[in-house]
Structure 1
Amino acid sequence: MLRPICVRQARRIGGIRTYLSTRGFAGSLNLERPSPFPPIEQSLHSAVPEFVSSDWNSPTLANKIAIRDGSTGETRTFSDHHTSMTNVASALHYEYMLKPDDTVALFSPNNIDYLPICLAVGMCGSKVAPINPLSTVDELSKILERSFTKILFAHAKLLPVALEAASKCDGVEHVVVIPDVESDPDIAHGTVNFESLSKFIHSEPLTESVKAVHHHVKDIQNHPWLLPYSSGTTGLPKGVCLSHGNMLSNLLQMDGNELITTSGRFDLETFCSLVQEHKPERAHLVPPIILGLGKHPVVDNYDLSSIKMIISAAAPLGLETETMTKKRLGTNIKQAWGMSELSPLGTLNSDFNARTASVGPLMPSTYGKILDVDTGKSLGPNEPGELLIKGPQVMMGYLNDTEKTEECLSDRGWLRTGDLSYYDEDGYFYITDRIKEMIKVRAFQVAPAELEELILNNEHVQDVAVVQIPDEESGELPRAYVVLKPSADLKEVTEEYLKDWVKERVSPYKRIEGGVVFTDAIPKSASGKILRRVLRDQVKEEFV
């Protein structure tokens, strides 16, 4: 039986985890920083599907557009969402015998049916693993295996990759194809058409989540629903177990309206055209798009005056970019910060008193503290150290990975974020750097360990280390420091050769566009761990 590893239940055999205190999990209680906002309601009695959809069939919302695809023109009303959610849930429950311990993977770009699929899986008490649509066959198959996926939902545009990956995983029993309105409606033999699920009729339809999810309040808090794969603070991607309670907490900390999205590849001119046509007042964007709005000449051809607020997240937003874009568009910009392990938000500026360069104060019912990286001592205002977060949105743990869970999540519920941060006298937090090894490329996470593992498979490579270099457009780019084998032909094994070799095997954002540096040795500690800090210091000197 698959269960997420919860640190409160996990116990290591033979030894006390003394490293928790030495790594600053305890700290000084009097220096914990509380959220300045009123706390959220803690007594949660409904699962996410019921909570989210409670008024979707009401006279106020039923016929109102819930989501619009700017690429295809498709729309869904709230009533459409509710019907699709319950029909798909019934089909999964009755026809495909989906159980509370099963996993469903969702491999799709932005799609107007994405939400009801996720909620339908939640109604069955199962886990849904959303997977980056840029994933390669190898990347997808690894996640399917590690998550023990039983059913794979795949968009028609991604079907060749999905089918090849699924063929490598014995646990995948069905592939459900989400049709593409712009291509041939016929689907591959042996697959299931999503429309047959969305129109499924049963004499006793599943209209609420199974009892395993909400039989007791503790079930809501501890029953896993979302399973995004994240590299967390270090290492290879791990399944982040987020419960119904985690997600409900973050939903109560936020609110939303009609959503306009695009299922096609992002294009700045298309984005500007949609803003001019539909006149949204708020835009949730990542820094590379905000940079384009601040610098690209095409922006002058469109009326973007409807946007009153841009919310930036997923990667740090530079002060210069923020200031430039504000001035050009005449809009306000506020930052937020979070991570998959936080469902995902930890801090957020309010509309009325956002501070430039700050990611804002803590979310409601959330606590934070800053610990000295070397001593683990709690620090006060304006003293930089590692940021730790505690709140109802903190994940349950990593799927089937006790060791990695214990490395970042304490028994008292404190999550080590791996981010260097400080807060000012008013409780506004500022992210200054990352202790963790993650590389952020256009807001996508790239794990150095994953690229290193791949590059080491090249027959000419003896050793490798990957770190980030700064890039104005992408934020950061991966750079590989490579030690070649003595037998390698230097005329054959060039920088371009290795870049192309990696390019064939990874998603576009994981390519080593930061370049390849050939070196005689990789700096390592006495225990053999790569000293990325040494390489990052070299990069800093290079880009001063």
Structure 2
Amino acid sequence: MVKLYKSQFPDISYLETGLIPYLFENPNRIPDDKELFNDVHTKQSLSYGQVKDGILQFAAGLQDYFGFGTGDVLALFAPNAIDFAFPALGAIAAGGVLSPSNPRYSVEELRHQLELSDAKVLVAHPENIDVALQASALVGIPKRNILVFGQETIQGILPYTSVLMKERRAVVTPLTPEQARSRPCYLCFSSGTTGKSKGVMTSHTNAISAAAMIMYMEDYNDPNVNTRRGINCLPMFHQYALLLVLHVSLRRGTSMALMSQFDLVDYLKTIQDQRITNIWTVPPIILALAKDPRVLQFDLSSLKFAICAAAPLSRELSTAFASRFPNIKISQSYGLTETSPSGTTELVNDTAHGSCGVLMPNMIARIVKEDGSDAKVNEPGEIWLKGPNIMLGYIKNKEATANTVDVDGFLHTGDVGVVDEKDRFYIVDRIKELIKYKGFQVAPAELEGILLKSPLVNDCAVIGVYDSVQATEVPRGYVVLKPGIDASDKIVSQIQQFVADQVASFKQIRQIRIVDTVPKTASGKILRRVLRDQVKHEQQQQQNQAKL
């Protein structure tokens, strides 16, 4: 018998229209002069009216200069910036699709995304313009179609401010409910266990319904919406920050301090000086707040709520945070790029450390065991999710889509979880083999493919190993050296550097173990679970020795 878990909250209604009209609807009557974003580093700020105007101005420029329209894709290759919303939402306002990418991508990683997405325009940043030019040349994007943030021309690439920001403002074309359900507005990339990342097609309805779910739960947990001030250092190319910073800020008018990268002292000082009330974080930031002695030097009394997502927050770390900050309510959420990225979230008046909470409105779930039967309460199984926020599919990959979303509309997450007596979800393992390094997805197969190209490596396997010091998984490589090469610290460093030269920094192999053989099946498939069991045994031995 099928066991369905349904949200304890009633289904909520949401507009089935284009994303931009939804974000610009302004049901809270936000004044145009209210500060929406301020840059912690540059001290620049933008008002609610300036952000909306800049988005429409950028959209008009895309249409007039590039003939950009329905179905066209803009690739955004940049770190967080005060004007990130202009190209991010301007592409959608012009009728097209945004494909944001990690600003630390290598040439090959960016080339793959540009090629798969059929990007027409690329907006890069001065920090990574070299990579942007090389990748664009490989896929045939002309230099005329590449723009850069800032005010300066770099290597012949013009700033978008001089090319696109003219007098005209775009008039956003309304979408019918059917168009809103079927047309993508985002093409974010999610790593797959087979190596190359997959383009997740998120429709306008996916994005709107997910934002509506998040805001409903935020209001349930914290009804004082009009007094919120937030801070964001999470990368805005990732759906976690896209949904919260761009969507929710514009819809609600919530003022946000923006950081291009995390620095603990700047983070703490901003919370103190701007009287920040809400933070959206990942486990490594929670670790710093819970453990770092510098935290005690700042006045964080304004802080009321902390939301943690993107990677599992352990019971121990959640407890440590709550012990240091008894007046801050911490809540863990769970979702995937494929769920836009809503799924579950904790209720702050009924928390359980280690839990990722209960189903958001409009969500249905199953917990399915390996034999296809439904798991009982507190029995592990794969989490399947269903709702209006589930992606359209993977671009140009019908097979992967069919293997992930079944005929009944359930997304097979690949995450193993249990549900307790109160319908609270806990993530306990992963069927899929992705490594979550500080919230970023790292595919073992991709790193293994690179390792095998090294002249030093004969065979290899890569798994994620939890590092309690950093509160994250780290990629660890098990390497069999080529005959005649002796293991040494120098050889290990050379192998690590070989990989580092070809991938973004978050994908770098942090640990290497030299081994005689890699465990495999008779058909040659790597037995990662054997390696993970070895790690658990090692960690248990270390714990036992520490007790002696």
Could you say whether these structures have the same fold, taking a TM-score greater than 0.5 normalized by the shorter chain as the test?
yes
Of 291, 309, 312, which residue of structure 2 is paired with 1:316?
Answer: 312
- 1:506-525 alpha-carbon deviations (Å, 9 max, x no partner): 22221111x22222332222
> Once the 2 structures are TM-superposed, how far is the Cα of residue 503 of structure 1 from its aligned partner?
2.1
Q: Tell me the residue number matched to 1:104.
A: 74
Q: Tell me the residue number matched to 2:196.
A: 236
Matched, 1:541 2:537: yes
Matched, 1:349 2:346: yes
Amino acid at match of 2:177: V
Q: Tell me the residue number matched to 2:245.
A: none
> Once the 2 structures are TM-superposed, how far is the Cα of residue 175 of structure 1 from its aligned partner?
1.1
> Once the 2 structures are TM-superposed, how far is the Cα of residue 134 of structure 1 from its aligned partner?
1.8
> After superposition, where does 1:12-91 map in structure 2 within 5 Å?
28-29=1-2, 31-41=3-13, 44-55=15-26, 60-91=30-61
Matched, 1:480 2:452: no
Q: Tell me the residue number matched to 2:361.
A: 364
Amino acid at match of 2:11: P
Size of the alignment, in residue pairs?
501
> Once the 2 structures are TM-superposed, how far is the Cα of residue 112 of structure 1 from its aligned partner?
2.0
Partners of 1:197 and 1:368 in 2: CA distance: 47
Partners of 2:308 and 2:272 in 1: CA distance: 20
Q: Using CA pairs below 8 Å that are at least 6 residues apart, which structure has the higher relative contact order?
A: 1
Amino acid at match of 1:301: Q
Amino acid at match of 1:219: Q
Q: 1:417 to 1:45 in 2, by over 3 A?
A: closer
Q: Percent identity?
A: 35
Partners of 2:76 and 2:471 in 1: CA distance: 26
Report if the CA contact (8 A) 1:460-1:493 is conserved.
Answer: no
Partners of 1:171 and 1:529 in 2: CA distance: 38
More helix by share: 2
Report if the CA contact (8 A) 1:420-1:434 is conserved.
Answer: yes
Partners of 1:482 and 1:60 in 2: CA distance: 57
Q: Tell me the residue number matched to 1:393.
A: 389
> Once the 2 structures are TM-superposed, how far is the Cα of residue 55 of structure 1 from its aligned partner?
2.5
Of 328, 333, 337, which residue of structure 1 is paired with 2:330?
Answer: 333
Match of 2:343, SS?
A: strand
Q: Tell me the residue number matched to 1:419.
A: 415
> Once the 2 structures are TM-superposed, how far is the Cα of residue 264 of structure 1 from its aligned partner?
3.4
- 1:211-266 alpha-carbon deviations (Å, 9 max, x no partner): 6xx1x311100101111110256542100110001001101112345243444331
Report if the CA contact (8 A) 1:90-1:206 is conserved.
Answer: yes
Partners of 1:497 and 1:401 in 2: CA distance: 36
Q: 1:59 to 1:367 in 2, by over 3 A?
A: closer
Q: 1:487 to 1:336 in 2, by over 3 A?
A: same
Partners of 1:276 and 1:495 in 2: CA distance: 43
Match of 1:353, SS?
A: coil
Of 489, 498, 503, which residue of structure 2 is paired with 1:501?
Answer: 498
Report if the CA contact (8 A) 1:233-1:418 is conserved.
Answer: no
Matched, 1:201 2:172: no
Of 456, 460, 463, which residue of structure 2 is paired with 1:460?
Answer: 456
Partners of 2:67 and 2:337 in 1: CA distance: 29
- 1:111-135 alpha-carbon deviations (Å, 9 max, x no partner): 2222232222112332211111221
Match of 2:64, SS?
A: helix
Q: How large is the Cα RMSD of the aligned pairs?
A: 2.0
> Once the 2 structures are TM-superposed, how far is the Cα of residue 59 of structure 1 from its aligned partner?
6.3
Q: Tell me the residue number matched to 1:264.
A: 260
Q: 1:389 to 1:491 in 2, by over 3 A?
A: closer
Match of 2:154, SS?
A: coil
Structure 1 residues 58-67 or 145-154, which shifts more? Answer: 58-67
Q: Tell me the residue number matched to 1:15.
A: none
Partners of 1:235 and 1:278 in 2: CA distance: 42
Match of 1:476, SS?
A: strand
Structure 1 residues 110-119 or 221-230, which shifts more? Answer: 110-119
Report if the CA contact (8 A) 2:16-2:205 is conserved.
Answer: no
Q: Tell me the residue number matched to 1:435.
A: 431
Matched, 1:151 2:151: no
Amino acid at match of 1:81: V
Q: 1:402 to 1:51 in 2, by over 3 A?
A: same
Q: 1:136 to 1:247 in 2, by over 3 A?
A: same
Q: 1:454 to 1:68 in 2, by over 3 A?
A: same
- 1:89-148 alpha-carbon deviations (Å, 9 max, x no partner): 111112211132221111111122222322221123322111112212222222112221
Q: Tell me the residue number matched to 2:147.
A: 176
Report if the CA contact (8 A) 1:422-1:429 is conserved.
Answer: yes
Structure 1: gaps spanning 5 or more residues: 1-27, 180-184
Report if the CA contact (8 A) 1:55-1:61 is conserved.
Answer: no
> Once the 2 structures are TM-superposed, how far is the Cα of residue 488 of structure 1 from its aligned partner?
4.1
Amino acid at match of 1:130: P
Partners of 1:483 and 1:459 in 2: CA distance: 12
Amino acid at match of 2:351: A
Matched, 1:188 2:148: no
Partners of 1:171 and 1:199 in 2: CA distance: 22
> Once the 2 structures are TM-superposed, how far is the Cα of residue 322 of structure 1 from its aligned partner?
1.2
Report if the CA contact (8 A) 1:284-1:310 is conserved.
Answer: yes
Q: 1:72 to 1:394 in 2, by over 3 A?
A: same
Q: 1:234 to 1:383 in 2, by over 3 A?
A: farther
Of 189, 196, 213, which residue of structure 2 is paired with 1:253?
Answer: 213
Report if the CA contact (8 A) 2:152-2:158 is conserved.
Answer: no
> Once the 2 structures are TM-superposed, how far is the Cα of residue 201 of structure 1 from its aligned partner?
2.2
Report if the CA contact (8 A) 2:456-2:495 is conserved.
Answer: no
